[in-house]
Amino acid sequence: MARQRKKKGRPVSGWIILDKPLEMGSTEAVGKIKWLFGAQKAGHGGTLDPLATGVLPIALGEATKTMPYVTDGTKAYRFKVAWGAQTSTDDLEGEQIKVSEKRPERAEIEAILANYTGVISQIPPQFSAIKIDGARAYDLARGGEQVDIKAREVEIDEIKITEHAADETTFEVECGKGTYVRSLARDMGIELGCYGHVTELRRTLVEPFDEADLVSLSDLEAAKPEIVDDEAVDYSTLDALLLDAGEAMGGLPRVELSDEQAQRIRMGNPALLIGRDAPIAEDEACAFIKGKLLAIGEIGKGTFQPKRVFNL
C-alpha cells in the first residue's frame, strides 16, 4: 500500500482580507500570503486587476471551502475615469486607440447612469481573464490577436458620482459577480461621445468583507515569525490577523451547537436542534461550536444535517 505523502506547510485556516497593493496580481498575492503563513493551501475570493487596489479576500486551509460564498457575493468599487481617450486595455496600461476633444458635464453623465443600473449586457475588456477556447483573453490580446468576446449579463445595484472635474469623474459602484469596471468606463465614454478609461480603481467590498477588515502587506510582513534552523518559531502574531472561516458565511442562518451536538456532526451524523428559537427548516445553514464554524448543511424536521464538515 502506497504511503501518503505528508502535506507541506501548516494546517492553518482562516481568512486574510488583504489590502492588495498596486501592480500586484491576485495569484502573486495568494502566493505571498501562503508563504508568509507557511500554509498548506490558499486561494482568493475574486480576482482583482494588478492596477487595482483594495479588498482581496484570501482563504487559507479549511477556509478555502467557504470561498464560493465570497466569490458570489456583492462587490463595490471606487474608480476614476479620465475622459477624452479610449485605450486598448480600458485603463492606463494600454495605448490610446480613440480620442476626443469633448468633455462631459456632470449632468450629462448623471443622465445616462440609469442605463448602467440593474441587469445589463456587458462585453468584458480585450485584456481580461475571460477564457476563449481554453486560453485567457489577455494572453491572446498580448499576442496581437483580436479577441471575439461575447456580451454577458451582469447586475449593477447602484452607480453614482462622488466627484467631478473637467477631465475626470470619480464613481462608486455596487455590483454582482463578473462585472468589469473597465467596461463600464469604456461604454459610458462611448455613449457620451467623449471616450473614457479607468485611471484609478479600488475595491471596497467583497461581501461580507469590507475596508474595515483590511490588513496591509507591510503589517503581515512585519508579523512574520523568525526562522530558526529552517523552521518558524512562533506564528501567533501572524495568526492573530486571521479571521475565522465562519466570517465568510454572511447572512446564512446559523446555529450554535453544544459539545454533544458537535461531536455527532463531526461524525457526519445529524444533530437534533432543541429550544424554542431553534430553526425548523432551512435549505442551507451553518453550524458553529464556541464561535468557530464547524459545518455547512441543511435544517429539516428540527435537525441539522451536515453536508460539509470543517476540520478546524
d(CA 42, CA 34): 6
User: For the chain, first and last CA: distance in Å?
Assistant: 29
What are the cell numbers at 63?
477556509
What CATH superfamily is the domain 75-206? Pseudouridine synthase (3.30.2350.10)
pLDDT at site 227: 72
- Which tens digits make up the pLDDT trace of 35-48? 999 999 999 988 88
Question: Domain boundaries in the chain?
Answer: 14-72+209-245, 75-206, 252-309
Distances (CA, A) of 177 to 114, 228, 295: 19, 44, 25
Q: For 252-309, which CATH class?
A: mainly beta
Q: Which residues pair with 251 in a beta bridge?
A: none
Is-contact 195 83, C-beta < 8 A? yes
- The fraction of the chain above a pLDDT of 70, given in percent, is 88
Which of these is catalytic: 19, 49, 90, 91?
A: 49
What are the cell numbers at 35?
508563504
d(CA 64, CA 99): 44
Q: Are 14-72+209-245 and 75-206 in the same CATH fold?
A: yes
Of 269 and 143, the one with more pLDDT: 269
pLDDT at site 140: 46
Mean pLDDT value across the chain: 89
Q: Is the pLDDT of residue 1 over 60?
A: no
Left (φ > 0), alpha (ψ -120 to 50) or beta: where does 275 sit? left
Quickly state the pLDDT bin for 244 (edges 50, 70, 90). Answer: very high
pLDDT at site 251: 77
Residue 224: CA count within 13 A, CB half-sphere: 17
Q: Which residues contact 145 (CB under 8 A, 6 or more apart)?
A: none
Q: Is the pLDDT of residue 257 over 60?
A: yes
Report the predicted TM-score, pTM, of the whole model to 2 decimal places.
0.89
Provide the b/e sequence for 116-147 (b: ≥16 CB within 10 Å). bbeebebbbbbbbebebeeeebbebbeeeeeb
Q: Is the pLDDT of residue 92 over 80?
A: yes
Q: Which residues contact 27 (CB under 8 A, 6 or more apart)?
A: 44
pLDDT at site 228: 67
Q: Which of 185, 214, 216 is nearest to 198 (CA)?
A: 185
C-alpha dihedral, 57 to 58 to 62 to 68, nearest 10°: 50
Across 115-143, average pLDDT: 70
d(CA 27, CA 18): 13
Across 192-202, average pLDDT: 97
pLDDT at site 125: 82
Q: What angle do CA 172, 177, 178 make, to 5 degrees?
A: 90
CATH number for the domain running over 14-72+209-245: 3.30.2350.10
Catalytic-residue membership of 49: yes
d(CA 19, CA 84): 30
Distances (CA, A) of 145 to 135, 140, 261: 12, 5, 58
Q: Is the pLDDT of residue 142 over 70?
A: no
Q: Is the pLDDT of residue 177 over 60?
A: yes
pLDDT at site 136: 55
